[in-house]
Structure 1
Amino acid sequence: MKAFPENLRNETLSRGLAAYGITPTALTYAPVGFGDHHWNVTGDDGRDWFVTVSDLEHKAHCGADAATAGVGLRRAMDTALTLRARDGLDFVVAPVEATDGGSVVPLGERYALTVFPHVAGRTGDFGDRLDDADRDRVLGLLARLHGATPPATAPATTLEPAGLVGVHAALGDLTGAWSGGPYAEPARRLLATHATTLRARTAEFDALADRVRRGGAPLVVTHGEPHPGNLIQGPDGYLLVDWDTVGLALPERDLSLLTDDPAELAHYAELTGRTPDAAALALYRLRWSLLDVAEFTEWFRGSHEGTDDTQVAWDGFAGTLEQLADRSRDAVIDSN
C-alpha cells in the first residue's frame, strides 16, 4: 500500500518489533504491494528485515472480522513455518518466530505484525509472463508444495469467493445514489453498466463450482497467489513470498495463475502424475476476478477517501469488470 496504516504510530511498530528481539536503527516505509503495509527495517545488530503489518479489518480471506482474521493469519503463517522447517521447502519465505514462539504479534485489535528475513533478488510484477523455462521451474516448486503433507494449521478454503454476497447486494442496489466517498457514484454507474455480464459470470461460476465439487478431487496445500509478483528470483532459484493466502484447495487454484494451456502444464503432470482439470482451471480463474470485484465493491460502497491507494483500487475495479466483459464477448463469438 502507498499510504501508511491509519492510526498506527512508529512507536507501536517498534514495540511490536521488540517482541521479536529487534531494536530498529532504521525504519523505512516501503510503498509496495496492495493490501498489506510494509517496512524495511535494520536492527541494532545490523541485520535487515522485511516487516509486514496486516489490517485485519480488511483481510476477508483470513476471516470475516478482525478477530477471526487474526486467527486465520496466524494459521497461515504457522503453516508456512511448518512447510519450510518440517518439509524442507526452502523456497517458502516464512516469517521468523517472535521470542514467545508465535508467528504473528498483535498490534492492538486492528493490526498484526509479521517479520521476514530480508531476501535479496529480483522481484516480478503481477502481469509479468514467465517464459517456458521459468514457468517449468515454478511448476516444479508447486509440485513439491502440492505433494506436502498438509500441516494441522493449514486453513480451509471455500470455492465461493469471500464477499460475493456483497456483490449480489450491490447489484440489487443500483437505483439509489451511493454516498460513501468520491468513487461511490462512479462505482455504482460502472456496476450498472456491467450488471448483466456480472450476473452471467456469477451464474457461470456456480455451474463450474457444482461440476468441480462433483468431481471429488483431493485437496492439497496451495499457496493461493503464486503469480510473478510473489516470486523472488534469487541466486539459487525462485522463492515464493506472501503466504497469508495459503490453504487447502485443488491444485488448479495455483496453476490457474500461471497458465490455462494444457501443453504448458505438461511439466506439472509429469512431476505429479495428475493432469490439471480444465473446468477447475476455469473455475479458479473466474474466482480470482470475482474476488477482486467483491473486494472493490465493498471498498467503494463503504466510507472511503480519494487517495493514491483508492485510485489503484479503482483502476483494478474497472479493469477487472472490463476483462469479465471481454471474456463474455469471446464466449459468445466462440459459441457462434
Structure 2
Amino acid sequence: MEERPAGIQDSDVRDALRAWGIDIVDWRYAPVGFGDYHWSATDTRGRRWFVTVADLTRKSWYGDGTEAAFRGLRDAMDTAAALRDGEPDGRLDFVVAPVRTAGAETVRRLGSGHAVSVFPLISGTAGHFGETLTPHDRSLVVDLLAALHRTAPPPSARALPPDFATRPQLLAALAELGDPWHGFGPYAEPARHLLADHAGAVRHRLDEFDRRAGELKAGGAPLVVTHGEPHPGNVLRAGERRLLLDWDTVGLAVPERDLWLVADGPDDLTRYEESTGRTPDPSALALYRLRWALNDIAEFLTLLRAPHGPTPDARQSWDALADTVKSLAAEA
C-alpha cells in the first residue's frame, strides 16, 4: 500500500520486532503490494528483513471480525513455515515463509486491528500482477506448484471451499443501485454507475459461478495444499530459482485454484499432469478464474463504499474495479 496504516506508528512496529530479537539500525517504508503494509529493515547484525503489517479488517476470507482474521492469518503463516521447515525429504525451499519469534509465533497482534510478521529479505526481482511470464518462467512455476500439491498438508492447513466470503458485500451493492452512494468519497458514485451499467452481466456471472461450484463440490475431487495467489507479483526471481511469496491465502483446495493463474495453454497443463498424475479440470479452472474476478469486484466495492479520499490507493481501487467489471461483462 502507498498509504501507511491508520493508527499504527513506525515506533509501534519497531517495538513489536523485539519479540523476534531484532534491533533495527536501518528502517524504510516500502509502498508495494495492495492490502498489507511493508517495511524493509536491517538489524545490528547486518541481517535484512521484510516486515509486513496485515490489516485484519481486510482478511474476510478467514471469517467475520478481527479475531477470526487473526486466527486464520496465524494458521496460514504456520502452514507456510511448516512447508518451509519440513523434514529433509519434505522441505520446500521455495516457500518464503515468516520467521518465528522466540516463542515460536509466526505472527503477533499489533493493536486491535493489525498483525505483524517478519520475513527474510531475499535478493531477487519480483514480478508484478498482470505481467506475462515467459514460457521458461511458467514451466518453473508449474514445477513449484506440482511439488507443493504433492506435499502432505500440515495440521494447520485449512480447507478452503470455492465460495468467496465477500459475496454478501457484492449482493448488497447490487441491491442498492437505486439510491446515490453519497457520503463515502469521490469514487463511490462512479462505482455505482459502473455497476448499474453492468449489473445484468454481473448477476449472470454469479449464476455461472454457482453452477460451476456446485459441479465441483459434487465431483468430490481430492484437495491439495494450494498457494492461492501464485501470480507473477508473488514470484521472486533469484537467479534460476523461483520463490513464492505471500502465503496468507494458503489452504486446502483443488489444484486448479493455483493453476488457472499460471498455466497458459495445454503444454503447461500437460507438464503439470506428467509431474503429478492429475489431469486439470477445465471447468474448475474456469470456476477459479471467475471467482477471482467476482471477489475482486466485491473487495473494491467494499473499499469505495466506505469513507475514502482522492488517494492513490482509492484511485487504484477504482481503476481496478472498472477494468474487472468491464472484462467480466465482456465474457458474459
Bucket of the pairwise TM-score, normalised by the shorter protein: over 0.9
Q: CA deviation at 1:236?
A: 4.6
Equivalent residues of 2:61, 2:166 under 8 A apart: no
3-state SS in 1 of match to 2:211: helix
Equivalent residues of 1:77, 1:94 under 8 A apart: yes
Equivalent residues of 1:29, 1:38 under 8 A apart: yes
Q: CA deviation at 1:122?
A: 1.4
Are residue 259 (structure 1) and residue 284 (structure 2) matched? no
Equivalent residues of 1:62, 1:244 under 8 A apart: no
Equivalent residues of 2:38, 2:50 under 8 A apart: yes
Task: Give 2:173's match in structure 1, choosing from 151, 170, 173.
Answer: 170
Q: Which amino acid aligns with 1:58?
A: R
Equivalent residues of 1:95, 1:114 under 8 A apart: yes
Match of 2:24 in 1: 24
Are residue 297 (structure 1) and residue 311 (structure 2) matched? no
Are residue 315 (structure 1) and residue 309 (structure 2) matched? no
- Deviating beyond 3 angstroms after TM superposition, the runs of 4 or more aligned structure 1 residues are none
Match of 1:159 in 2: 162
Q: CA deviation at 1:62?
A: 2.9
Measured in 2, the distance between the counterparts of 1:31 and 1:3 equals 7
Task: Give 2:138's match in structure 1, choosing from 125, 135, 140.
Answer: 135
Match of 2:8 in 1: 8
Q: CA deviation at 1:317?
A: 0.5
Measured in 2, the distance between the counterparts of 1:39 and 1:218 equals 38
Q: CA deviation at 1:303?
A: 2.0
Q: Which amino acid aligns with 1:25?
A: V
Q: Deviations over 1:19-56 (max 9, x none)?
A: 11011111100000111100001111111100100010
Give the paired residue count.
Answer: 328
Q: Which amino acid aligns with 2:235?
A: L
Structure 2's unaligned 5+ residue stretches are none
3-state SS in 1 of match to 2:152: coil
Equivalent residues of 1:62, 1:245 under 8 A apart: no
3-state SS in 2 of match to 1:257: coil
Equivalent residues of 2:174, 2:199 under 8 A apart: yes
Equivalent residues of 2:142, 2:263 under 8 A apart: no
Structure 1's unaligned 5+ residue stretches are 329-336
Q: CA deviation at 1:252?
A: 0.1
Measured in 2, the distance between the counterparts of 1:62 and 1:12 equals 25
Equivalent residues of 1:124, 1:232 under 8 A apart: yes
Q: Which amino acid aligns with 1:11?
A: S
Match of 1:85 in 2: 85
Q: CA deviation at 1:260?
A: 5.3
Of the structure 1 ranges 123-132 and 282-291, higher mean CA displacement relative to structure 2 is found in 123-132
Percent identity of the aligned residues? 50
Measured in 2, the distance between the counterparts of 1:189 and 1:139 equals 40
Q: Deviations over 1:209-263 (max 9, x none)?
A: 1111111100100000001100001135100000000011000000000135233
Are residue 215 (structure 1) and residue 219 (structure 2) matched? yes
Match of 1:192 in 2: 196
For residues 106-145 of structure 1, the aligned pairs below 5 Å read: 106-145=109-148
Q: Which amino acid aligns with 1:326?
A: A
Are residue 201 (structure 1) and residue 181 (structure 2) matched? no
Measured in 1, the distance between the counterparts of 2:46 and 2:267 equals 47
Measured in 2, the distance between the counterparts of 1:65 and 1:308 equals 26
Of the structure 1 ranges 229-238 and 254-263, higher mean CA displacement relative to structure 2 is found in 254-263
Match of 2:248 in 1: 244
Q: Which amino acid aligns with 1:144?
A: A
Q: Which amino acid aligns with 1:299?
A: L
Are residue 98 (structure 1) and residue 107 (structure 2) matched? no
Measured in 2, the distance between the counterparts of 1:176 and 1:187 equals 12
Measured in 2, the distance between the counterparts of 1:301 and 1:233 equals 37
TM-score normalised by the chain length of structure 1: 0.95
Match of 1:334 in 2: none
